[in-house]
Amino acid sequence: MTTNLFDLTGKIALVTGASRGIGEEIAKLLAEQGAHVIVSSRKLEDCEGVVGGIRSAGGSAQALACHVGRVDDILLAFQTIRSQHGRLDILVNNAGANPYFGHVLDTDLAAFEKTVEVNLRGYFFMSVEAGKLMRDNGGGAIVNTASVNALQPGDKQAIYSITKAAVVNMTRAFAKECGPLGIRVNALLPGLTKTRFAGALFEDQETYDRWLSKIPLRRHAEPREMAGTVLYLVSGAASYTNGECIVVDGGLTI
């Protein structure tokens, strides 16, 4: 008898920033493996488009609007999840903000605050609320989308890089304290990936060429190429993987 270690049948999964890019591909793949996926982003209509695609492919999904930069939105989202499902098995913190691309000395307060609110405070309180639900139901899995910028700060991306470095240590902190509760917490660190979010890197040809020259595979990634690592981390295949930060960058950081 063959055991499918990646089977997520019966699992309830919440993916933030799932209306496009890496988040959308993660949501689709988790649904393909049997999970009921709660597709979340700021705009409900964008989420509903992804949900429609998942359902058309035979999967199970629902849309849920939530701005993770607002704690009130987070609390309301988890009230909804608790009342509708009574539990949460998987959280993928994928929503992100990177409003400023320029020299660190020109970073203004608004850009700083928005980046921290979404990338750090948002991830933290999403994990806290998810962790409470998981604790009450015997465990679960959390995956945070960080970045290779957490290891090597990106040029003209100082505050974004700083928050992603914090996400790496936050992942380990939650893994250490929540492991005894049966909650595994890990992170994905994508390299150069073709998304609207990373648009500034692709629009600046000099920057793009510089990145490409450092990648042994000599190409950028497509969003779907990030989803498989997340599937591993939330599945039974990773039942003893906790506190890990997996780099998926085509060899950039070698």
pTM: 0.95
The rounded distance, in Å, linking the Cα atoms of 179 and 170 is: 13
DSSP string, 9-31: TT-EEEESS-SSHHHHHHHHHHH
Q: Is residue 4 in a domain? A: no
Q: Is residue 175 in a domain? A: yes
**Taking a C-beta distance cutoff of 8 angstroms, is the pair 134, 182 a contact?**
yes
Domain residues for the domain of 179 are 12-248
**Taking a C-beta distance cutoff of 8 angstroms, is the pair 64, 47 a contact?**
yes
Please say if the pLDDT value at position 210 is more than 90: no
Domain count of the fold of the chain: 1
Q: Is 108 exposed, middle or buried (0-12, 13-18, 19+ CB in 10 A)?
A: exposed
Once rounded to an integer, what is the mean pLDDT over residues 38-51?
Answer: 97
| Catalytic residue ranges | 160
**What confidence tier does 201 reach under pLDDT thresholds 50, 70, 90?**
low
Once rounded to an integer, what is the mean pLDDT over residues 177-201?
Answer: 89
- SS3 at position 245: strand
pLDDT of residue 206: 82
CATH number at residue 164: 3.40.50.720
Q: Is residue 254 in a domain? A: no
Max Cα–Cα distance, the chain, nearest Å: 60
Q: Is residue 2 in a domain? A: no
pLDDT tens figures, 61-79: 999 999 999 999 999 999 9
Q: Rounded mean pLDDT of the chain? A: 95
